[in-house]
Structure 1
Amino acid sequence: MSTLSSTTDPRNNHEVDGKPIPHDQNVLQKHVGFFDRNHDGIIYPWETFQGFRAIGCGILLSTVAAIFINGGLSQKTRPGKFPSIFLPIEVKNIQRGKHGSDSGVYDSEGRFVPSKFEEIFSKHARSHPNALTSDELMGMLKANREPKDYGGWLASYTEWKILDVLAKEKDGLLHKDSIRAVYDGSLFEIMEKEHSEKKKK
């Protein structure tokens, strides 16, 4: 899989690492924005499903992901609103859906924290300085666990294992550029393009 430069987001033409981001959208919003397929600020389960299918996931994984993600985030991103059977996620409030036992790369406002991103590799990348093996990834997840935060453990494990399956290179490693690109969602666009090109062949 081709990867993206770790410092730019081509959709927004701005520097990310260590630079201010636009006030109208934080990096966490960019991360989930790919799944807002009609760009209306709301992500419904069928859009989550379509997004996963677009990057090459099978029907079963896409279905489970849509149920898990929308079921877990809908009400958290809709404070004060009556629960909806359609499980919509409001992109503007996505930072409210942050869970515990994570890497800390997103802060409480959904902004990217470069020092926390670098810690992933300085602390856990033993075999290769800019990539993680599956065992190193599991070690990171265990190190990030907060006591009795079972929901956070499950959410982190699910997110990272899906990323490992989808973005791992042929050498069996999850590379730094791929991980960086998933944080602002640009990896999803790359994967969608590659999947679309494969279907045309």
Structure 2
Amino acid sequence: MSGRSSRDPSPTVTADSTAGPELEFDVAAPRSPPTSQRRQAIQLDAVIARPSIARANLAVSTANPHGSVDYPNLKAPDLRDNTVLQQHVLFWDRDGDGAIYPWDTYKGFRELGFGIPFSLLSVFVVNAGLSYPTRLAHSYVPDPWFRVYVTSIHKAKHGSDSGTFDNEGRFCPQMFENMFSKWDTDGDGTLSAGQLLNMIAGHRLAVDPFGWFAGVFEFGSTWLLVQKDGRVSKEDLRQTYDGSIFWRIRDARLHGKGWHKGFGLRDLVKLATSTIATAAMPNAPKHYLQAT
């Protein structure tokens, strides 16, 4: 069946909004509510050249169609020879030997501002979970050091993800933009914790517990690292994919005035205090509760 349905005009999405010219085919089916509730990003080619073709070494978006142009100035290694997925993990391969040891993972998370318990958890998740898949490109024998191999990091791609990384570690602009066209229901270019959870749930595939957990861990740690006022911006998420934000955070913490985004222990205490105060005094003025 071709052409548009007269009963249910398909929703259309531009690079920056849900409005746009009509297409010659349907992008939603009346008997499948998710196809109209989760709208694709269309008309991207007005900003991004051939958005459906994955980029080997650039993480691009409608706001940054050329990627992180200042990335080489962030004391990162030369990036052009690495896929975007490899760039994503190079922050933890500081000595450039192509392998991420458990202590590399721990040190990297500590430099990003995570506490000791979370950094230790990250060592278990990253190195115990990803070492053997990346090892398979070199040997069937498990690595005794639980190293994660950068050259074969694409083998660590898991299911139930956004599809922004393809199976070879390239960056798919269309899939990245789809995350916001589908889940940014406010249209403000950010994703709240609730919207991220909805997205993770929407990406879940059948019988994939590892992928479900990995999605929660990855986007959960991203929210803890870069959220501001409870929301993750599109640009911060793009920089998370190519790893450039990790170098920015490290430099800000070491040489600048610190990193003023994210959710730490102080924020947790403040949130808990505010929640308890609200429950104890539901009729108290809002400014009073904030002061407490």
1:99 lines up with 2:145 in the alignment: no
Indicate the residue corresponding to 2:85 in structure 1: 28
Give 4+ residue runs of structure 1 displaced > 3 Å after superposition: none
Rg larger in structure: 2
User: Once the two structures are aligned, what percentage of the paired residues are identical?
Assistant: 38
1:10 pairs, out of 41, 54, 70, with: 70
TM-score (norm 1): 0.88
Work out the CA distance in 1 between the residues paired with 2:153 and 2:110: 22
Q: Which sections of structure 2, spanning at least 5 residues, go unmatched? A: 1-62, 74-78, 259-292
Q: Cα offset for 1:12?
A: 4.3
1:182 pairs, out of 230, 240, 263, with: 240
Work out the CA distance in 2 between the residues paired with 1:172 and 1:97: 29
Q: Cα offset for 1:128?
A: 3.5
Q: Which has the higher helix share?
A: 1
Indicate the residue corresponding to 1:119 in structure 2: 178
Q: Cα offset for 1:198?
A: 4.6
Aligned residue for 1:104, secondary structure, equals: coil
Indicate the residue corresponding to 2:26 in structure 1: none
Contact 1:121 1:129 survives alignment (8 Å): no
How many pairs were matched up?
186
Q: Cα offset for 1:175?
A: 0.3
Work out the CA distance in 2 between the residues paired with 1:9 and 1:28: 17
Indicate the residue corresponding to 1:18 in structure 2: none
Q: Which sections of structure 1, spanning at least 5 residues, go unmatched? A: 14-20
TM-score (norm 2): 0.61
Q: Cα offset for 1:9?
A: 4.5
Aligned residue for 2:86, secondary structure, equals: helix
Superposed CA RMSD? 1.7
Indicate the residue corresponding to 2:143 in structure 1: 84
Deviations 1:9-67 (A, max 9, x none): 43348xxxxxxx94x31000000011102111110010010100111111111111011
Aligned residue for 1:74, secondary structure, equals: helix
